Amino acid sequence: MSYNASQIEVLEGLEGVRRRPGMYIGGTDEQALHHLVVELLDNATDEASSGHANRVQVILRKDGAVSVWDNGRGIPVDPLPRYPDKSALEVIMTTLHAGGKFNDQAYETAGGLNGVGVSVVNALSAWTEVVVERDGYRWRQRYERGRAVAPLEQLEATRRHGTQVTFFPDGDIFPLTRFDPARLVEMCRAKSYLNRGLTVLLRDEGNTVEQTFLYPDGVRDYVREMVPGEQRVIPEPFAGMVERFGEDGRGRLEWAMAWTTEERGRTLYYCNTIPTQDGGVHETGLRAALLKGLREFAEARNLLPKGVELAPEDVLDGLTGVLSLFIPNPEFAGQTKDRLTNAGVARRVEAIVKDSFDHWLHGAPERATRLVEVVIERARDRLNRKKNQTRVTRKSATTRLTLPGKLTDCISSDTSATELFIVEGDSAGGSAKQARDRNTQAVLPLRGKILNVEQANLEKFEANAEIKNLITAIGADHGKAFNLERVRYGRVVIMTDADVDGAHIASLLLTFFYRHMAPLIQGGRLFLAQPPLYRISTGAETRYALDDAAKEQMVAAILKKKANAKVDISRFKGLGEMDPAQLRETTMSPLSRHLLKVVVDDPVATDDTFDRLMGKRPAERFRFIQEKAPFAKDHLDI
């Protein structure tokens, strides 16, 4: 094939964004869709962090559009010298790398850095409308797929100031254009506690839900909310703030940390209000400061037993908290900003936090000694587990693996083809064993609802028979010792009844896999089976419907084709009610089944959901139910 100048294409305006959205927002999936809101929230809270706004409002409209408003200075509307026929607003909305954040005159610190945020939202939206209040007037302009469709319009006079951007994502770009209200809640909550004193209001017009977030004491307030007093090793979080961070003094560092009685903790890292899900240099600095501080205190007080040395996991595993950093010109790995990379930040964070931590420890020796005792106990547990694992490993090298008695294994050992189906109860297990392909499909029945690992301590976890069977059948250990290469099956499939109890069992299993075998999910090897809820028969033809909506659609299609057709509808009470042929056809055969791959597209939100829904705090669970109740009104299974 020839290659010459005629094949060179130059994309004008924002067309490059529409052709390659993954370069700017990481893809076109659900996470990328919500990243559009993140970009607008970043701009709004940049006004707040710079001292020009104290209110932000997010509206999820009935038509599916999202509106983000702030009472900041308002995007400039006067003409730019280089573009005399266009306002600054139009240039910002339709041109990449146009904005007020390339120098330090408009913003000292900002989350939106490259002048691509709002223009990318505009490019990937079916339509966008911007209303600006400044210079004594309201101004409005509308765009479609990144292009202005009318000149900037001057409206009525006003003394108010601010910016409102409303957009509807383009269905030609995104397969799904529906926003998840729960995600928007977490976004708004985070922006509020990261900007102390900022009021963030979220309104969901479709479900008539309105929530207001305000944290006067910033991240300290949020950590107190995340970790109730009875779960804290030390009553008050270790918290602090430095107003002049960095060599030029234009940054800010704020943190709050609480050691908990839980096996795991959850520490969130932010830079300029942007969640850095993969951490980065600020995380490195914090971890080093806490580890060194506790080691030095324990050594100075002769608290360490002989043969025990504190490791990072001993200090950090039970830690829950937030570290928030504001700096000029942050450097991230990629446009989606998952990891902070600025040189020198780790050293400065470590020095500041370490100095504050030393004062906190030595200022209250009894409190600090209590913390060290807890950390030493974790170190002992770690060393004991390591000894036990060493003994088991040596034995396993010469002894055949003993599989659980209820596991019906497959013949093949080729992980590219094999599957393990985890089913609830012996009845469903019996049907699944007869329905399976014995060459490639294994079946492990579980007895009832497994242990909720989010609430269980280590002793209960290790003693639970069903958990042991799961770990042994999968064959790759768990926790930090989990080895994805040793997993015995190419796919692990959770197969539960299509009812409330089945959903609860699936939730318990998902909690186990997320907390103890996370690489299995990251490797794309965990799935949810989709058994049908209804069998619909008409004459000799039988169809299956996954849910009520699919049932109604199928019945309507049958009656449209033949108005007087006799339709027989039966509902399955569980997998055990299906005969093997039905189970094979609807749920297990690769030729006709539907599987949902389990993915984590937002680690912070996912972690928060497991913690609130499955954790030990009934108040958080109750609040979670209250937040979700309006969205579940049509999905009750009573």
Determine contact, residues 431/579, Cβ cutoff 8 Å.
yes
From the candidates 29, 217, 278, 501, which is the catalytic residue?
501
Q: How far apart, in whole angstroms, are the C-alpha atoms of residue 258 and residue 526?
A: 32
Delimit the domains of the chain by residue range. 17-213, 219-386
Outline where DSSP puts E strands in 193-303.
199-204, 209-213, 238-245, 251-259, 266-271, 274-275
**Confidence class of residue 204 from pLDDT cuts 50, 70 and 90?**
very high
Which is the catalytic residue, given 497, 602, 608, 611?
A: 497
**Active site residue: 499, 547, 601, 627, which one?**
499
Between CA 270 and CA 267 the distance in angstroms is 10
497 catalytically annotated: yes
Give the pLDDT of residue 336: 58
How confident is the model at residue 398, as a pLDDT?
34
CA distance 83 to 93: 13
Q: What is the CATH number of domain 17-213?
A: 3.30.565.10
Q: Are 77 and 152 in contact (CB under 8 A)?
A: yes
Q: Is 78 a catalytic residue?
A: no
For the packed helices 181-194 and 618-628, what is the interaxial angle rounded to 10 degrees?
120
> CA dihedral defined by 232, 237, 238, 240, rounded to 10 degrees?
170
* 3-class secondary-structure state, position 304: coil
Strands 319-326 vs 266-271: parallel, antiparallel or unpaired: parallel
- Three-state helix/strand/coil letters over 572-628: CCCHHHCCHHHHHHHHHCCCCCCEEECCCCCHHHHHHHHHHHHCCCHHHHHHHHHHH
Alpha-carbon Rg for the chain in angstroms? 28
pLDDT in tens, 330-365: 888 765 567 899 989 999 999 999 999 999 999 999
Helices (H), 419-492: 425-435, 458-463, 465-474
Does residue 105 surpass a pLDDT of 50?
Answer: no
pLDDT tens, position by position, 457-508: 777 887 888 898 899 999 999 888 889 999 999 999 999 887 778 888 899 9
**Report for 216-220, 378-382, 615-619: range of highest mean pLDDT:** 216-220
Q: For residue 400, what pLDDT is reported?
A: 44
Give the least confident one: 89-98, 117-126, 546-555, 608-617.
608-617
pLDDT one-digit tens code per residue, 289-337:
999 999 999 999 999 888 888 988 889 888 999 999 998 888 887 655 6
Report angle CA 160, 75, 87 to the nearest 5 degrees: 120
51, 43 in Cβ contact below 8 A? Answer: no
Give tens-digit pLDDT for 589-606. 988 888 899 988 777 778
The confidence band for 396, taking pLDDT boundaries of 50, 70 and 90, is very low
Buried b (16+ CB within 10 A) or exposed e, 310-324: bbeebbbbbbbbbbb
- The answer to whether residue 393 scores a pLDDT higher than 50 is no
Q: What is the DSSP string of 111-153?
A: S--SS-HHHHHHHTEEEEEEEEEETTEEEEEEEETTEESS--E
Considering 108, 283, 419, 424, which one is annotated as catalytic?
424
State the amino acid at position 99 in one-letter form. Answer: G
The Cα–Cα gap between 521 and 599 comes to: 6
Going by DSSP bridges, is the β-strand pair 491-495/162-169 parallel, antiparallel, or unpaired? unpaired
Q: Give me the phi and psi of 561, to 5 degrees please.
A: -75, -40
- Smallest CA-to-CA distance from 182 within 614, 617, 634, 613 is with 613
Long-range contacts of 625-633 (CB under 8 A, 24+ apart): 627/182, 627/185, 627/209, 627/211, 628/182, 630/204, 630/207, 630/208, 630/209, 631/181, 631/182, 631/207
Mean predicted confidence (pLDDT) in 16-26: 85
Ramachandran region of residue 463, left (φ > 0), alpha (ψ -120 to 50) or beta? alpha
Local structure of 285: helix, strand or coil: helix
For residues 145 and 55, is the Cβ–Cβ distance under 8 A? no
To the query of whether residue 355 is one of the catalytic residues in this protein, the response is no
Map residue 541 onto helix, strand or coil.
Answer: strand
**Residues 318, 627: Cα–Cα separation, whole Å:** 27
pLDDT of residue 603: 75
Max mean pLDDT among 90-104, 172-186, 459-473 falls in 172-186
**Averaged pLDDT, 226-255:** 87
Q: How confident is the model at residue 101 (pLDDT cuts 50, 70, 90)?
A: very low
Q: What's the pLDDT at 11?
A: 55
Average pLDDT, the chain: 85
Query: Is the model's pLDDT at 1 over the cut of 70?
Result: no
Distance of CA 436 to the CA centre of its chain: 34
**What is each CA distance from 395 to 104, 384, 401, 408, 465, in whole angstroms?**
63, 17, 10, 24, 21
Active site annotation includes 381: no
Please provide the CATH number assigned to the domain covering 219-386. Answer: 3.30.230.10
pLDDT at residue 245 in the model: 87
For 209, the 3-state DSSP assignment is: strand
Give pLDDT, residue 638: 42
For residue 508, how many other CB atoms are within 10 A of its CB? 20
Dihedral angle sign, alpha carbons of residues 571, 575, 581, 584: positive
